[in-house]
Structure 1
Amino acid sequence: VFKEHCTPAVLVMEWVDVIRLTDRKKLEELGVDTQWLLECGVKISLVQLLQHGFMHADPHPGNLLVSQNGTRSTRSA
């Protein structure tokens, strides 16, 4: 989020190239560790709920993304 460009009516964010979890072919091509993704998703969901008091209300595979640059991050947006 670029706060210096935001107003109460406008939210300005950067574009990030990602892969949706529904794109199995691309995930396989890149050698993505799907077991790690599953474990990470569970951990992030628990941290959100238990430590921060909120949860993702629509966690289907189309709303969960993987970076294309090969980096691992447990950061949730």
Structure 2
Amino acid sequence: NENDPVVKMAIKALQNLEIPYQAVVGGGGSDANIISAIGLPMIITGTGMDKVHTVHENIKTDQLLKGTAFIEELVRVYSEG
């Protein structure tokens, strides 16, 4: 839900970094599903990884750095309230 405060913060952080975003509702076995079920809002971010959950799982350095910058910016946006 793009009106959720946590999602709004994530979008703001991405916009600040000029990183395009695409909101999608996902499923699967993420631990976020458990935490969300007890009422804590959660987001899951893509990491740019390739061949996830295989012996060939990898991530390009630029994607790792972009993901790190996003997390740093998300914490900054959160700390501003």
Q: TM-score, normalised by structure 1?
A: 0.29
Q: TM-score, normalised by structure 2?
A: 0.28
Q: Larger Rg: 1 or 2?
A: 1
